[in-house]
Amino acid sequence: MNRRKFINQTLAAGAAVSISSTTALAGDRTPVKILGISCSPRKGKTTATAVQAALDAANKVDGSIEVELIDLGGLGISGFSGNGATTDDFDGILPKLREPNVGGWIIGSPVYFRSMSALCKAFLERCAVLRKPSLLLADTAAGVLTVGAYRNGGQELVIEQIHSILLCHEMMIVGGKPGAHQGATLWNAYKDDITKDEFGMDTARKLGIRVAEAALRVTV
């Protein structure tokens, strides 16, 4: 079911929607899942670590928040093929994307030549199936995280590129809390130990918190 429809139907049924509180008790509301999607071909490396940190922060926002990391590292995902019949590792991910309780996405990409990774682009192209028959991702909160090897390596550019794609789904784009207004930007300056980038890790946590808050506001 389209999440917008889900919200409308629930409203019609007289259920209360939390539009101001992000402190509801876990027992008060349906669990809301935040998916973290790491789009580096290198499984478990800096992008995945940072996305997990964002998820951990999201998880702490409210007892009803559940989180799950989808690490695309090592998976084979082709871009849109034109014939609609591609079979690859995207098929195994699709059911998770379609779960009705998903209220937010945190999507992370490494910066490759001041662009998103090819894996990220391929994944997002394949998500076109989520636009039919209706926009499944509409009103799902979404925030973006990027990791580059240079301090000004294109992190913000890549955030904007991914935002543009997510807007085609009518997702609700959010940045992070102050200090991370556009999203999370990380600098892999310490030989793949991204936890040493304290500023960047802080932006990841601020993004996670903001995505969780937004997801709670639009779900019942």
φ, ψ of residue 11 to 5 degrees: the values are -60, -45
Which CB sits closer to ligand FMN, 72 or 172?
Answer: 72
Which CB sits closer to ligand FMN, 98 or 151?
Answer: 151
The tokens of 207 are what?
């993004």
* Residue whose token pair is 């994307």: 97
What is the rounded distance in angstroms from the CA atom of residue 7 to the CA atom of residue 12? 9
Distance of CA 133 to the CA centre of its chain: 22
Question: Which residue has its beta carbon closest to ligand FMN?
Answer: 153
31, 150, 195, 196: which one contacts ligand FMN (CB under 6 A)? 150
Which CB sits closer to ligand FMN, 118 or 129?
Answer: 118
Site for ligand FMN contains 47 (CB under 6 A): yes
* Residue whose token pair is 């999370």: 184
Q: Which residues pair with residue 173 across a beta bridge?
A: 142
Q: Which stretch binds ligand FMN (CB under 6 A): 4-12, 120-128, 142-150, 165-173?
A: 142-150
Find out whether 216 and 25 touch, Cβ atoms under 8 Å: no
CB of 47 to ligand FMN, least distance (A): 3
Residues making contact with ligand FMN (CB under 6 A)? 40, 42, 45-47, 110-114, 147-150, 153-154, 188, 192
